[in-house]
Amino acid sequence: MDYHIHTPSQLAAALKSSRKTRGITQHLVASRVGLLPKTVSALENSPDTSSIDSLFKLLSALGLEIVLKTKDDTTSGEW
């Protein structure tokens, strides 16, 4: 499934949804990549306060990746 993320709250919802879809607990996903369950909880509730390193660990545990692409709008390329 692809998630289009534009805000930290959308990221939080996508992370939580992905984990729940896989039927795994915060504790289990945390233990897979050496995170604390409270770190997973923080990423699922307020990712803007979490570290990038923790985010990438969680993405790895969930089998997700980040893909950056140019927005399709008329202002792209303008500074």
Rounded Cα gap, residues 4 and 11, in angstroms: 9
Calculate the alpha carbon distances from 39 to 6, 27, 44, 71 in Å. Answer: 22, 10, 9, 31
Mean pLDDT value across residues 44-56: 94
The DSSP string of 55-75 is: HHHHHHHTT---------STT
Q: 59-79, pLDDT tens digit by residue? A: 999 999 999 988 876 565 666
pTM: 0.84
